[in-house]
Every structure is written in C-alpha cells, then in structure tokens.
Amino acid sequence: MDGLAAIGVATLVLGGPLAWTILLNLRDRRQARLLRTVLDQLSSRDLRGRIAVEVRCALLSADSQVAVHVLTFSQEELWEIMTRLAQRLAPRVRLEVSGQLDRLFHATVTMRTTGEEPHARPRQPSLATN
C-alpha cells in the first residue's frame, strides 16, 4: 500500500508541471506552424522588407491570431494578401492586415477563418417567384 501512496503523491506533485509543459509545447508548435505558413505565402520579392508578422496562439484553445503589418500597400496587394492567407491558414485563426493603404490613410482589415471552402456553402433560395 505504501508503494501506491508514493506513486499517487508523485503523480500529484509532478503531474501539474508536466501537463503545463506539454500544453506550452503544443502551443509553441502551433505558433511555429502558423508563422511558417504565413511567411511561405508572403515571401514574394515585392513584399520583402515591407512586412512584419506577429503570431499569437491561445494556450487552452485552438484560437490563434496572425497580424501582418505592411509598410505601404495598394488595394490589389491587400486583397492578394488576404486571399492567399485565408486559403492556407487553419480554421479559427483571426487574420489582421494593417498598414498605409495607397499612402493615403492607415487601414486595418480583419477576418476570421472558418476552415470551409467559400463555394461549399449551400445556396440560399431566391425570394423571387415566377
């Protein structure tokens, strides 16, 4: 019986730090995967030197945030960045792209990925009748 009590005490003492370490490791791996995905998509020559990327992941949930800060960009570059990243990022990622839009004003565009294909949604019935 003393052996079982010792195992129980050791589990209680070491279980918490071990579980915490495993959760931190999983979060760090998820964060590294997201960063690698974003950098792979934004590695074009014309964006090089104009972007900064920040990735944050929650510890106890799958929610993540990717912030891309661009020095200056046009509307076409903004939509290209958003569509490329939206197609490649995992579900439940909040994507935020901000920067100087056409050198006129500061713009921030935010979206949340769902993991669904854009064309996979069922079509809504038309309200028009024949």
Tell me which residue of 83, 112, 85, 109 sits closest to 98, measured CA to CA. Answer: 109
In a domain, 121, yes or no: no
Q: Residue 6 — left, alpha, or beta (φ > 0 → left; ψ -120 to 50 → alpha)?
A: alpha
pLDDT in tens, 79-124: 888 888 888 888 889 999 998 888 888 888 888 887 655 444 444 5
In a domain, 117, yes or no: no
Domain of residue 106 covers 2-112
If one counts the domains in the chain, the total is 1
Q: Is the pTM of this model over 0.75?
A: no
pLDDT at 120: 44
